[in-house]
A and B are shown apart, each in its own frame.
Chain A
Amino acid sequence: MDKAIKLRFYKDRIFKSGIILLTVLSTLPLLLILFYIVKQGITSINWDFFINLPKPVGEKGGGIINALIGSGIIVFCASLMAIPFGALAGLYLSEYNRDKLAYWVGLCVDVLQGIPSIVLGIIIYLWVVKPTGHFSALSGSIALAIMMLPPIIKSTEETLKLIPVTIKEASLALGVPYYKTILRIILPMGLNGILSGSILSISRVAGETAPLLFTAFGNPFINTNILKPMSSLPLLIYNYAGSAYEDWHKLAWGASFVLIMSILFLNLVTKILERRWRIQF
């Protein structure tokens, strides 16, 4: 073989190996974190862990039922608020992308995405917790809902933008009114993107601690009243991991394990949804 060509061949090989090596290196931290959390957390996991309240210091065992229920309720309420608003805002941005208002809304969404979560927590503390006079799960949900908005808006907008204009025109040319065209043709076609954006944003806020510190606050007991303080997995991890007691550390590791596994699961669901429900056009 010609020497120059041989040299090229080797350069290509080295380049390719370099890329693969760096890719593996960049996923390494994630794998190590996963491994460590599983190793530390798995020993705490048993049935009692899921159905019991945390025990006082000095007593063995105890569970995280209060945080599980709390996280469920807080995230559920946040989704109820964020998904309809986010999906409609995304629809507006994709339908009226030439409007001046759409430009400013898009800009606001980008800025909103960059606001640190602790700042959001403090703002909701000032706007909701202070006027109502007490911490509440609802105020935590509001803070999380605001965090969920940008990803939902963005993914809705991007999905709907991909739908060819001619499909909308086909519906209009049949005499279908604009609002029905949106509701019956466009939104069903974008459902896939709206749902996967929503689930992804749920998995992102499920692990948020900062916005809940000044809002949902935490609660050592089971509470289902959204107007009262409520525990959540990240709050429990934050409080117990920072304590001085070995038993509480164990509880925090277990809770971390549960949290990480749920987030992984949600991400997996998103991937499956995206593949299964992909609509051809």
Chain B
Amino acid sequence: MENSILKVEHLNAFFGEAKILSDIILEIPENQIIALMGPSGCGKTTFLRSINRLHELTPGARTEGKIYLFEEDIYKMNLIVLRRKIGMVFQRPNPFPTMSIFENVISGYTLNGISLSKSQKEELVEDSLRKASLWKEVQDNLHKKGTFLSGGQQQRLCIARSLSMKPDIILFDEPTSSLDPISSNKIEELLLDLKKDYTIIIVTHNLQQAARTSDYTAFFYLGELIEFNKTQALFSNPAKRQTEDYISGRFG
């Protein structure tokens, strides 16, 4: 296995009394695409949101166990540093509506009070938008509001916004579920491009998407990690009964 970037040890997550995740143990390899799949309510999104500690924001939510990013305990890290190292793209495109495309891309810097020179800003914006393969479409309209873009473009803008922070890992929470098939394809192609430089963890409902894009797949069911393996191995030769049932469409 490649170098692992993220190590999860005995992670439990709760909403009030309800246990959402139980005893997750997982090592995530660097520069790969890892798909988290499973039926609704299996805890995959909660797991994703535990990695950048967004889960704790919900009233009554808490976690137990440990997650290490490069050997560093994320629950002891500065929250701001952690979230700069682990970016996130959400289910629905959510560019900041009061900001232009340009401002959206560098918002991670301006909002955190990190000052950049004009040329640094321009370079960062162009670089991030190119990586998100949005540059060609918006280069003449950088100072228009991001919300005027189409859904797929908005989602790529959100990806550019995460990329500008130069994260190690990017979390994708069903990034294509609100997009049309063509926009979805673009995002999937983009993911394959991005894995050269980033580790990508993607939650998906879509089995084909997991099979097409990911290197590794984790199958969650009822809050437990049932199986984690190379995607090809998991799909062609699942080790567990539940995994087999799920990928063959017998439930979920």
Contact = CB atoms under 8 A, between A and B. Distances in A.
Contacts of A172: 54, 57, 83
A281 B97 contact: yes
A184 interface: yes
Interface in B50-89: 52, 54, 57, 59, 79-84, 87-88
Contacts of A189: 97-98
Interface stretch (B107-115, B188-196, B223-231): B107-115
A170 B147 CA distance: 14
B97 to A, nearest CB: 4
A171 B147 CA distance: 16
B80 A177 contact: yes
Contacts of B161: 170, 174
A131 interface: no
A170 B94 contact: yes
Interface residues of B, number: 31
Contact of A279 (B79, B88, B90, B98): B98
Interface in B160-186: 161-162, 165
Given A185-B98, A185-B111, A280-B147, A174 B90 contact: no
Given A98-B59, A170-B96, A281-B147, A176 B112 contact: yes
B186 to A, nearest CB: 20
B36 interface: no
Range of interface residues on chain A?
A: 20 to 34
B21 interface: no
A280 B113 CA distance: 26
Contacts of B112: 174-176, 180
Interface in A243-270: none
Contacts of B92: 164, 166
Contacts of A14: none
B35 interface: no
B85 to A, nearest CB: 9
B91 interface: yes
B88 A180 contact: no
B158 interface: yes
B174 to A, nearest CB: 12
Interface string B99-112: 00000000110011
A166 B96 CA distance: 10
Given A184-B111, A185-B111, A281-B147, A173 B97 contact: no
Contacts of B165: 174-175
Given A98-B59, A169-B57, A280-B147, A174 B94 contact: no
Of the candidates B80, B92, B96, B113, the one having the most CB atoms from chain A within 10 angstroms of its own CB is: B96
Contacts of A72: none
A188 interface: yes
Given A169-B88, A173-B52, A189-B98, 5 more contacts: A172-B54, A176-B108, A180-B112, A181-B111, A279-B97
Interface of B: 52, 54, 57, 59, 79-84, 87-88, 90-92, 94-98, 107-108, 111-113, 145, 147, 158, 161-162, 165
